[in-house]
Amino acid sequence: MAIKDIFDRPAAPRRLLLCTGPCCDQKGEATELLTALRARLQAARLDQEIVGEASCVRRSCLGKCSGEPLAYVHPDDVWYHDLSVDTLLTILRDHVQDHRPVAEFVLEDDG
Ligand code: FES
């Protein structure tokens, strides 16, 4: 699905899935990222404000192993890479909540 098509989809709850499978979490980086994200959300009391009806979920392998922590937004079928806590917060706010994909961090489909 092209990013432009996502803007035309009817509003539906999006879910951010953060992969903590064996490739994405080789050195514990994905688990650290999730822990840091949850701490930031709790510290800022942003859980309800940012996430709203959507959610951020820890998942084991999402089937697109590339050796870096990856995240996936369902049902838009958009993958994100180069994740940091700030990047995840942006994705939660812009894509999951406001349905505007963050093109800068979208993992381009190679196939
Ligand atoms: S371990 Fe993350 S996609 Fe497979």
What topology is assigned to 14-105 in CATH? Glutaredoxin (3.40.30)
Q: What is the pLDDT of residues 1-55, one digit of tens each?
A: 566 565 555 566 788 888 888 888 888 898 898 888 888 877 776 554 445 434 5
Strands 55-59, 15-19: pairing is parallel
What's the alpha-carbon Rg for the chain, to the nearest Å?
13
- Ligand 1 and 22: CB distance under 6 A: yes
Query: Where in the chain are the domains?
Result: 14-105
Q: What is the pLDDT of residues 63-107, one digit of tens each?
A: 888 768 899 898 899 999 989 999 998 998 899 888 899 999 999
How many Å apart are CA 99 and CA 76, to the nearest integer? 9
User: For residue 79, how far is its CA from the centre of ligand 1 (angstroms)?
Assistant: 11
User: For residue 61, how far is its CA from the centre of ligand 1 (angstroms)?
Assistant: 4
User: For residue 83, how far is its CA from the centre of ligand 1 (angstroms)?
Assistant: 14
The pTM of the full predicted model, rounded to 2 decimals, is 0.77
